[in-house]
Structure 1
């Protein structure tokens, strides 16, 4: 499952190398801040695949919520609902 420290190191390295826009560093910093203080976000990150955390970061950059806890919680609820629907269909996710 996701290791936020490894994800952060990778994101910051890509931003530093110019492979990702600086918004990713800002989003990663915001996620680390929320992760440290919010048990639900902390649990979700620990249970999520790294690709799911990458998708969350991309959505944060695209939609710009950053330190908006309400947006993050809505995103997590939607993500969990979509996973439940995919699981109930018995179909592989993302294939």
Structure 2
């Protein structure tokens, strides 16, 4: 991995962790606000629960792309495909 790729990955990780932190803060505020007002947590559109659900799905997709489908995974898959299509030379 060269410097530019490493810098880009660190930048993406930093953005992801910031988003995760903000998600946790907002989810905590919404959760505790519902608990103190109603005595329980209700799933409703107007209280922000659906927004948190959508935000959580987006964060999950970003995490999969960042941690599972990274450059190394792509490189390994490319090498496997190249080995499949590589024909041996007969002399």
TM-score range (shorter-chain normalised) is 0.3 to 0.5
TM-score under structure 1 normalisation?
0.32
TM-score under structure 2 normalisation?
0.33
Higher-Rg structure is 2
